[in-house]
Structure 1
Amino acid sequence: MLNGDTVDSEAVRRYADSLSMDLSTAELEAFAEQFAQQDAALADVDVLASPTVPMLPPKWDADMDDVFGSLANTGPFNVTGHPAVSVPCGTVDGLPVGLQFVAERGDDAAALRAAPSWMALRD
C-alpha cells in the first residue's frame, strides 16, 4: 500500500511526521489503507454524508465515559485530511443532531457547497 499505487504515501509520511509520530511500517500502511478506503468511497460521489457524532449528546451534568467514541465519525477524516463540515440536522429526543459532509482531499469547496444546499432543503 505504501508503494504509491493508490495513495500518496509521502502524504501519509508527512502527516505522521507533522505529529511527531514515529510510526512503524505497519502503522504507516494502516494509515495508507484508511486514505485509500476514504478516497474510494468518494470516487463516484461529490460528498459523503454521515452523522457528525455516533451518539446523542450527554446531559449537562452527566459524566462522559467515552470521550473518544464521540470522535469516531470525524477523527478518521482529520487523519486523512478530507475536508468536512457539520450542519444541524434536527433533533432526537429533544437533543441536537449534526450531519457532516465530507469531500475529496483538496476539494473543500464541495463540502462547503453541500452545507447550504442541505440547509435550504430543511427550510
Structure 2
Amino acid sequence: MNEWSGRGKVRAREIEGGVEIAIDGITTQARYYKPLVYEFFRKEFQVRPRWGDFEVELVMEYLGQDAPTLDLDNLAKALLDALKGHVFFDDSQIARLLCERKVGERDRITVQAVKR
C-alpha cells in the first residue's frame, strides 16, 4: 500500500484496485463531507476516474457509548457524490455498497472504493 497523502482532516492513499480515504472527526451534518472531500481530491490528491464496477465500503467509527445521530445513507450519498469524477465517473458504477457504524479508537470515517 502507498503512503497517506494529505495534511488536514482528509487523507487518502491508493490501494490495490482503488483508493482509501480517511476523514477525521464526525459531524451530524452529512452535507459537510461532500465539499470537504471534493476539495481534497481537487487540490491535494489527484487521481483519474475509472470505468467499471466498484465496491465501496464505508465505516464510521465513533468514541464513547452513544452513536452520533448521523444517517449512514445520507453520509454514503454525500461521500459517493464527492468521489464522482475523481475515483469513478458516476455513482451508478457502484455494484456493492457496505456501510457500517461501530465503536472505534477515534471519531473517523473511512471509505474504500475498489474496482471489481
Bin of the TM-score, shorter chain as denominator length:
under 0.3
Per residue, is there more strand in 1 or in 2? Answer: 2
TM-score (norm 2): 0.25
More relative contact order, 1 or 2 (CA 8 Å, 6+ apart): 2
Per residue, is there more helix in 1 or in 2? Answer: 1
- Whose Rg is larger? 1
